[in-house]
Amino acid sequence: MTTTGGDATDAAPRPSRARRAMRVLSFIALAGVAVPVACRLVGWEAGPLAIVLALMPWVTLAAAVPLILAALSRAWWLVGASAGIAALCVSWVVPLYIAESAPSAGGELTVASINMTFGRADADAVVRLVDSGDVDVLSAQEVTPEIVEALVDAGLEELLPYSEVAAEPGVTGTGMWSRSPLSDAESLEGFTGPTSRDGYASRAVRASIDVAGEAVTVLAVHPAAPGLFDHTGWDASMTSLVDHLDEHSGPIMVVGDFNTTRDHRAFRDIESLGYVDAADQAGAGFAPTFPEGRGLFAVAAIDHALVRDAPLTAVEVRTEPVHGADHRALVVTYVAP
C-alpha cells in the first residue's frame, strides 16, 4: 500500500470553535483591563478616565476574567499577559491589607469624616455615630447653616463642645468639632471656588489639638470633584492642596472628602510627601465610601484621613451609613504612644 505525502496526524490540531471564541473574549477582556491599568501607571486621567481610575480595586477583580478565559482556551501568550496585568493590579491593592506595627500601649484618638450632602444628613444619626463611636474629632463637609443648627439641637455640642465651623449654603461649607480644646482654630479663606487664589472647591478648617503632649494640626478639607469630561476645578483644587500640604511643617492630620482615591495621581503625590492614609496604616483593606444609597453599595474610597510626622498610628478603619448622606462616614481609630 502506498501513502500520499504529508501525514495529517503530524499537524497540530486546530482549536475548537468554543476555544477560539474564548480566546477572542479573553483578548477583548484583556484590552478592557489594560486601558485603566496603563492610565494608572502613567497618571493619565483625561475625561471619563478619572472616574474609571476611582474604580481600580474593581478592575483588579476584573483582571481575573481574561486570565481565566485564556487558561481555558489554552492561549498561553494571553495567559502570560493577563497574569502580568493581574499581578500589577494586585500589587497596588495588597498594601491596603498589611497593617503597620502600632504602639502596644497609649491613648486613643477616634476621628470621623462625614459629608453632610448639601446639609441633608440626619443630624440625629450623626450625633448617634459620634456618641456610639466615641468620636473625638469630627470633620464635616457640605456644612450648611441649617445642618449646624440641627446638630446643635441634636446634642452634638454636648459631646464635642469645641468647634470651628465655616457654614455656607450648598456644598462649600466645612466644619470641625472636637472633644478637647482647639487652639489656633481658623476657617481658611479663598477656598470657595476652583478659580479662587487657593483653588479649593470648598472652605477648609484648620486647628491644633493636643496628642500625647504634642500639638498636631488637623486640617478638614473638601477639594473639588472631577467632572465627567472637564477636570478644571478638580485639577486646580488638588494642585493647590498638594502644594499646601507640601509647605506645611510639623505634625499634621488631614481629614475629609478628598474626591480622589489612592489610584489618582494627585493622591499619590500627597503620599509621596510622607502622608500616610489610615486605611494603609491599619491594613483595613478596601473601604469604599461613595456613593451611598444610590445603588447596592458604595464603590469608591474617596474619603480619607492622613497623617504626617504625628504621634498617631491608625489601628482601625470602618465606614458607616448616615441617613440622608450620599457618603458613608469614615471612622478611624488612632493610637498614640
Q: How many CB atoms within 10 Å of residue 252?
A: 20
Of 184, 199, 187, 188, the C-alpha closest to 241 is 199
Q: What is the pLDDT of residues 20-76, one digit of tens each?
A: 888 888 889 999 999 999 999 999 999 999 999 999 999 999 999 999 998 888 888
3-state helix, strand, coil in the chain (%, to 5): 35, 25, 40
Of 218, 211, 212, 210, the C-alpha closest to 253 is 218
Cβ atoms of 93 and 63 closer than 8 Å: no
Of 329, 301, 256, 280, the C-alpha closest to 54 is 301
Is the pLDDT confidence value at 221 over 60? yes
pLDDT score of 8: 46
Cα–Cα distance for residue pair 202/189, rounded to 1 Å: 10
Print burial letters for 37-71: b (CB count within 10 Å at least 16), e (below 16): bebbeeeebeeebbebbbbbbebbebbebbbebbb
Which helix (H) or strand (E) segment is 217 a member of? strand 214-221
Mean pLDDT of 263-281: 97
Which helix (H) or strand (E) segment is 317 a member of? strand 313-320
Cβ atoms of 176 and 137 closer than 8 Å: yes
Is the pLDDT confidence value at 145 over 70? yes
Q: How many CB atoms within 10 Å of residue 120?
A: 14
Cα–Cα distance for residue pair 181/174, rounded to 1 Å: 18
Is the pLDDT confidence value at 220 over 70? yes
Is the pLDDT confidence value at 186 over 70? yes
Is the pLDDT confidence value at 316 over 60? yes
pLDDT score of 1: 47
291 preceded by a cis bond (ω within 30 of 0) = yes
Share above pLDDT 70 across residues of the chain, in percent, rounded to a whole number? 91
Residue type, 24: V
pLDDT score of 76: 87
Name every residue whose Cβ is closer than 8 Å to that of residue 5 and which is 6 or more positions away in sequence: none
